[in-house]
A and B are shown apart, each in its own frame.
Chain A
């Protein structure tokens, strides 16, 4: 057994003897770092948020906040973690420690009441505090979701507080300044991130495995068809915690360089399946407007810091948010196997409820989005809560409208059938017709009849259907209002 080691608040520790499914949260708490809390164990509340040093987008290293309740501690082998306890600077013996600027603002502005959510907020806030390029121009006023200091409120979208009503937390977030020159975590960003290490951690017959290369990983998959793949673990972590699933062998993909490339070619963009959504969002920087519209509505920043496209397609959930968008973009998936690669259009990928054409031993290496992109795009996610909620239905549009005529229409739907689907009837009803109230109303009626939505705790079937049609009417209203104003 190669033992796995992790650096927490500057101190290195071995993770053994915990079971391989043990979450980082439980590991930290068992070591007495009880500042990191469990509020839900499914990535919803952020009470477990911790900072992890990851390969940066604009600097060598980023401090990224993640849900410690979802990530297995074994997945952090060789990595550096900072918790709320590690952010304050300890004082000389007998004197109080000095608060981190984020802690200071939260404390003095009444950002904590019961305090249970607070350490998690602190870590999420610290990650945004250290985000390179956060700082806005001194004269900036901010907007509804940004402070004058450039603080993006979405950084806290994965943290729940039941006590404060959030106003003082927002004030604290908007009050933090820039990291000082000698701030150790700020300086850490200038150094290389912790290198990926191969991990083979076994306890009681169960193994957590991370290989160095894609080839080795594929070989393992051929030998162990029972292995569970994990990337960000935002779905798998929920399975482990909530549905008590245990796997004999878990194979990590999230640090494989072959799955972490993003390239823009002349006729397509290729996005590595193990890039996190945050990385994709920041690296594409609006290049694909439909994806740019998707990301802020996809879970929370905390989840997006870990979640991957490979995972979102890998679970095959009919309410996943990326499939409708990728269907509208006519994307395909690149499947890798020890025997070779193949490319499958996403529209042909799903075969049934949580089922796909993916064969045993195969994994998703990348997603390809063909170029050029349609000009008129929109993503409408219907949910109860604006931030961080699961879709009742989701609709993505990609339309080419030339001289007032719809030349091409691609519509992806989630939440209306056992798999994500294309709304072919509505697409046909739009194509070749003028982009008008009449056309959209006719197409909306067809759209509304797509799939077989169900009634559940999220929404009634009637509402789901209605929203399909409404989303097209809304898009039409938006495009015409935009033109007229």
Chain B
């Protein structure tokens, strides 16, 4: 066992406990960024001037009418920016643009004494535009060759030879939807200026260091003049990794110019129309199988809808490519990625970060091809798993570690869920019910953990022990509900050997831990946990020395367990508080900064090869659905999941992540239906689903009626803190089984053995059209023998209406 993964006696990690803020959550006393406004005097409210055209040069921007509105204090425009007018890391995101790049682009911000005054002021600002033609859909972008950023190609083996050796070759196209984060707390920032003209910003951000960096360059300041604090977020999901910076910069600029605190808080429609989403993708593919259904070759082009600026589209696309294999060994592959430049919001990180998109492509391919190969979809999937003991590598050249876990979790789901028996029950049910069909599908996941970019895989922490024995930890990670802080408290208590109540956690601030990475890529606990553990180890080593001298033994014989220092072979004890006080009087340093970097990673973005991931997370899930043949409406009757989180740091938190991720994934794949105005009308480019009333998230009715989540046991991960694995993103992708079950249920309305094309999201309407297509389908004569392009045959659905292309 590695030093990093080894757990001491009576560890606090591994104990199931609720979220550290649960008490504050349920009593409404937990504070979020915008709650601070009501505890702050003289706050000005900022309101954006959004231009409702998809593209055009600004020829006039008149702010005087706004200043005439009572209560309006100032209008912020590009002319006010003392530093660099840019809100991104790619320098393609002007904070105050000269050119409107998407419908709803904010070109100025109005500051008012009240929100109402600022709103009326924003309405009064006059903007004139020289309108330009806009590219809205992915298809338009592909046709116009409107791309930006890198165009990576991932190759392995010999694709042409692979196809030549294939008994069956299919090809197809697939376009699927973007997804709104819909964190319940919208973007918010509150900025103040202190007496030394330094800027302090409360921001709902997953990446305080980058928020700080961008605020500094917008204001023309150095980083040490800007402090960013994030108390907690009301959800982030990736949507607050890059997107908060500009809003924080607007608040900071306003505060700088007026000397008063300035609040930016987007209402839901502003948030929906101004901030980026999960990238929708288009995929074109060709796949070859041998006679037994083993994948021989894959040739695919993935096009991500990047929106107007690059933001994180390049790493998202890279991750999509790196996950197109999912759990399947693809010996020969050529997969190209490109980023469409469209006149829409700039798409960004979202739980899974391209991984789900890449994996969806292969799962869709297998779901469509299985009937054509004459195989049960579960069988087809299993046949293609990475196998242990063969040294198989991913298409980008990384050895697949722990491949045995792919089938281990799968088999456990089969057993726990009693799938064999239920498949028989379902067949009987379907035979007896012409208008209602059920189906059961199982899918698995493999997800690479670490930032693709090696430099981001580092973290810092600052741990303070006070004379009274209480401990305060600071680390660079942010809390957005994922339970990171709970885990960090558990890690600190475990490393120091003290009870949990002795440890408290301070809000994340850039003046405590500098140069932090985003709390993203599921890596929050791995990285910050490593850093907290490191700081605590330094402190423990010092305290053990003190204890040894007090107890008259060797330091190597001293253990601190549950707040008491003891030495081997003696019943002498020293309580933690006494130990700390003694250390203080002996002038032993009681604070330490910890540091961690993930070892053994390398990645060459140019050749698209390397080992970018520390390890892989695995999981499998089975969903049973029931579909109404009259309407396409459905219910998720039961879901069984087995997921690999290594040895869990905090089981209740991890199960919560698995369940929440699953339902969010099911939302993306079945319900959440982002629609844009793609017409040539006056509102071209407008987001049609720009409110909670039109963009529907999963509610109680989408929760599986029976929902069983099991964490894989004895799953120690040597390469991560206390043997755990990351959990934030991977479970989202467990939801593929829901869509595959819907596909199979729709197929059950038709003759057996047909391939069903299903839109994503698979809304009731999409399922209804799939059912209609299945009902009209001819029974396949020799489906498995078709060596052609059967899967490319478009089912007669109005895909324009369905996917907004």
Contacts and interface: CB of A to CB of B under 8 A. Distances in A.
A162 B184 contact: yes
Nearest to B665: A165
A34 B31 contact: yes
Given A108-B18, A457-B675, A115 B232 contact: yes
Given A35-B29, A387-B699, A166 B184 contact: no
B696 to A, nearest CB: 5
B28 A39 contact: no
A144 interface: yes
Nearest to A123: B28
B765 A387 contact: no
Contact of B26 (A84, A383, A386, A473): A84
Given A37-B185, A162-B664, A103 B26 contact: yes
B325 interface: no
| Max count, chain B CB within 10 A of own CB: residue among A19, A30, A463 | A463
Interface string B628-654: 101101010000000000000000110
Nearest to B687: A457
Contact of B692 (A39, A88, A164): A39
B64 interface: no
B709 to A, nearest CB: 8
Given A115-B25, A387-B701, A110 B38 contact: no
Given A19-B116, A97-B27, A166-B700, A161 B184 contact: yes
Interface stretch (A42-50, A188-196, A255-263, A278-286): A42-50
Given A45-B184, A170-B700, A242-B269, A113 B764 contact: no
A41 B268 contact: yes
Interface in B385-419: none
B268 A99 contact: no
Contact of B696 (A39, A96, A165, A385): A385
Given A163-B660, A463-B768, A44 B28 contact: no
Interface stretch (A213-221, A224-232, A406-414, A464-472): A464-472
Interface in A21-51: 29-42, 44-45, 47
A242 B768 contact: no
A114 B481 contact: yes
Interface string A93-113: 000110100111011111111
Given A30-B38, A115-B232, A166 B481 contact: no
A332 B483 CA distance: 55
Given A88-B27, A164-B656, A165-B660, A110 B19 contact: yes
Contacts of B694: 457-458
Contacts of A35: 27-29
B655 A110 contact: yes
A373 to B, nearest CB: 25
Interface in A143-187: 144, 153, 156-157, 159-168, 170
Interface in A421-474: 455-460, 462-463, 466-467, 470-471, 473-474
Nearest to A173: B700
Given A37-B185, A40-B691, A115-B481, A32 B235 contact: no
Contacts of A380: 631
B541 interface: no
B140 interface: no
A166 B692 CA distance: 18
Contacts of A156: 700
B705 interface: yes
A464 B801 CA distance: 12
A144 B705 contact: yes
A477 interface: yes
Contacts of B234: 37, 114-117
A243 to B, nearest CB: 10
Given A85-B29, A457-B688, A458-B694, A386 B664 contact: no
B27 A166 contact: no
B22 A107 contact: yes
Interface string B75-91: 00000000000000000
B589 interface: no
B28 A83 contact: yes
A418 interface: no
A474 B631 contact: yes
Contacts of A119: 25-28
Contacts of A473: 630
Interface string A114-150: 1111110010000000000000000000001000000
A382 interface: yes
Contact of A474 (B435, B763, B769): B435
B568 interface: no
A400 interface: no
B22 A112 contact: yes
B211 interface: no
- Which bracket fits the contact residues of A? 35 or more
B50 to A, nearest CB: 13
A117 B26 CA distance: 9
Contacts of A38: 267
Contacts of B138: none
A167 B802 CA distance: 30
B659 A34 contact: no
Nearest to B660: A165
Contacts of A117: 184, 234
A167 B707 contact: yes
Given A170-B700, A384-B763, A456 B692 contact: no
A199 B235 CA distance: 40
A6 interface: no
B716 to A, nearest CB: 24
A459 B700 contact: no
B233 interface: yes
B738 to A, nearest CB: 12
B768 A466 contact: yes
Contact of A163 (B21, B235, B675, B696): B235
A278 B697 CA distance: 24
Contacts of B655: 110
Interface string A58-100: 0000000000000000000000000111011000000011010
Interface in A239-270: 241-242, 244
Nearest to B709: A167
A112 B185 contact: no
A408 to B, nearest CB: 24
A389 interface: yes
Contact of A114 (B185, B699, B764): B185
A84 B28 contact: yes
A396 interface: no
A331 interface: no
B28 A85 contact: yes
Nearest to A84: B28
Contact of B659 (A45, A167, A387, A470): A167
A107 B26 contact: yes
A384 B237 contact: no
A259 to B, nearest CB: 27
9 closest A-B pairs by CB: A35-B28, A114-B481, A116-B234, A115-B25, A84-B28, A165-B663, A44-B692, A386-B701, A113-B481
14 contacts: A33-B28, A39-B692, A40-B693, A99-B23, A110-B652, A110-B656, A119-B25, A165-B656, A166-B703, A167-B659, A167-B703, A387-B700, A457-B673, A474-B628
Interface of B: 18-19, 21-32, 34-35, 38-39, 116, 119, 181-186, 232-237, 267-269, 435, 480-483, 628, 630-631, 633, 635, 652-653, 655-656, 659-664, 671, 673, 675, 688-689, 691-694, 696-703, 705, 707, 763-765, 768-769, 798, 801-802
Interface of A: 19, 29-42, 44-45, 47, 83-85, 87-88, 96-97, 99, 102-104, 106-119, 122, 144, 153, 156-157, 159-168, 170, 238, 241-242, 244, 380, 382-390, 392, 455-460, 462-463, 466-467, 470-471, 473-474, 477
Given A37-B184, A99-B23, 9 more contacts: A39-B184, A40-B692, A96-B23, A114-B234, A116-B481, A119-B25, A384-B763, A385-B671, A466-B768
